[in-house]
Structure 1
Amino acid sequence: MAVVTNTFQTTQAVGNREELSDVVSRITPEDTPIYSLIEKGKCVTVHPEWETDELAAPGANIREEGEEYAFGAITPPQRLGNYTQIMRKDWIISATQEVVSEAGNVQKRKYQKLKKGVEIRKDVEYAIVNSNASVAGATRELGSLPTWIETNVSRAPGGINGGFDANTGLTAEPTDGPQRAFSKTILDDVMQQGYQNGANFRHVSVSPYVKSVFVTFMSDGNVAPFRYAVSQGGERNTIVATADYYEGPFGTVMIHPNRVQAVGAGLARNAFFIDTDMLSFLWLRNIQEDRDIAKTGDADKGVIIGEGTLKVHNEKGLGIAADLFGLSAAS
Structure 2
Amino acid sequence: MAVISNTVRTSGAVGNREELSDVVSRITPEDTPIYSMIEKGKCSSVHPEWETDELAPPGDNAREEGEEYTFGAVTPPERLGDYTQILRKDWVISNTQEVVDEAGKVQKRRYQKLKKGVEIRKDVEYAIVSNQGSVGGNVRRLGGLPSWIKTNVSRGAGGANGGFTNGFTVAATNGTQRAFTKTILDNVMQQGYQSGASFKHVMGSSYIKSVFVTFMSDANVAPFRYAVSGNGGERRTIVASADMYEGPFGTVMVHPNRVMSTSPNIARNTFFIDPEFLEFLWLRKIQEDKGVAKTGDADKGVIIGEGTLKVGNERGLGVAADLFGMSASQ
Normalization by structure 2: what TM-score?
0.97
Task: Measure, in 2, the Cα distance between the counterparts of 1:196 and 1:281.
Answer: 27
Give the C-alpha shift of residue 68 in structure 1: 1.6
Q: Which residue of 1 aligns with 2:276?
A: 277
Alignment partners' CA distance in 2, 1:310 and 1:229: 42
Using the TM superposition, give the Cα deviation of residue 16 of structure 1 relative to its aligned residue in structure 2, in angstroms.
0.6
What's the CA shift for 1:65? 1.4
2:71 maps to what in 1?
Answer: 71
Match for residue 246 of structure 1?
Answer: 245
Provide Cα deviations, 1:31-87, integer angstroms capped at 9, x if missing partner: 001001100001011000000111111111111112122111111100000000000
Q: Does the CA contact (< 8 Å) of 1:269 and 1:322 recur in 2?
A: yes
- Aligned residue runs from structure 1 range 59-138, under 5 A: 59-138=59-138
Once the 2 structures are TM-superposed, how far is the Cα of residue 7 of structure 1 from its aligned partner?
3.6
Amino acid at match of 1:294: A
Q: Shift of the alpha carbon at 1:254? A: 0.3
From 153, 169, 172, the equivalent of 1:171 is: 169
Whole-angstrom CA distance in 1 between matches of 2:232 and 2:314: 48
Matched residue count: 329
1:152 is matched with 152
Correspondence for 2:181: 183
Percent identity among equivalent residues? 73
1:258 maps to a residue whose letter is N
Aligned residue for 1:296, secondary structure, equals coil
Distance in 2, matches of 1:177 and 1:99, equals 55
Long gaps (5+) in structure 2: none
Inter-CA distance 198–230: structure 2 relative to 1 (3 Å threshold):
same
Is 2:8 aligned against 1:35? no
* SS of corresponding position for 1:118: helix
Q: How far off its partner does 1:234 sit?
A: 6.3
CA distance in structure 2 between the aligned counterparts of 1:188 and 1:329, rounded to whole angstroms: 20
Given residue 169 of structure 2, which amino acid in structure 1 is its aligned partner?
T
- Cα deviations across residues 285-319 of structure 1 (Å, max 9, x unaligned)? 00001111110111111111000000000000000
Equivalent residues in 2 for 1:47-62, closer than 5 Å: 47-62=47-62
SS of alignment partner, residue 70 of structure 1: coil
In structure 2, give the amino acid aligned to 1:309.
T
* 1: CA distance, partners of 2:2 / 2:162: 73
The amino acid across from 1:86 in the alignment is I
Q: Aligned equivalents of 1:51 and 1:314: distance in 2?
A: 9
Q: CA deviation at 1:227?
A: 4.2
Q: d(CA) in 1 for partners of 2:320 and 2:220? A: 21
The residue type paired with residue 211 of structure 2 is V
User: Which residue identity does 1:32 align to in structure 2?
Assistant: T
1:302 match: 301
Q: Aligned equivalents of 2:4 and 2:175: distance in 1? A: 71
Q: What's the offset of the Cα at 1:236?
A: 1.4
Query: CA separation in 1, counterparts of 2:71 and 2:78?
Result: 22
TM-score by length of 1: 0.97
Structure 1 SS opposite 2:224: coil
The alpha carbon displacement at 1:232 in A equals 4.5
CA positional deviation for 1:222: 1.5
| Matched residue SS, 1:215 | helix
Please state how far the C-alpha of 1:2 moved relative to its aligned partner. 6.1
- Displacement of 1:240 in angstroms is 1.1
Give the distance between the partners of 2:159 and 2:304, measured in 1 at CA.
36
**Deviation at residue 282 of structure 1 after TM alignment:** 0.4
DSSP 3-state at the match of 1:211: helix
CA offsets 1:1-50 (integer angstroms, 9 cap, x no match)? 56554443322211111010000000000000100110000101100000
Aligned to 1:192, the other structure's residue is in SS state: helix
Cα deviation, 1:88-135, whole Å, max 9, x if unaligned, reads: 000010111111000010110110000000000000000000111100
What is the Cα-based RMSD across aligned positions, in Å? 1.2
The amino acid that maps onto 2:87 is M
Report the residue type matching 1:145 in the other structure: L
Quick one: which amino acid aligns to residue 185 of structure 1? T
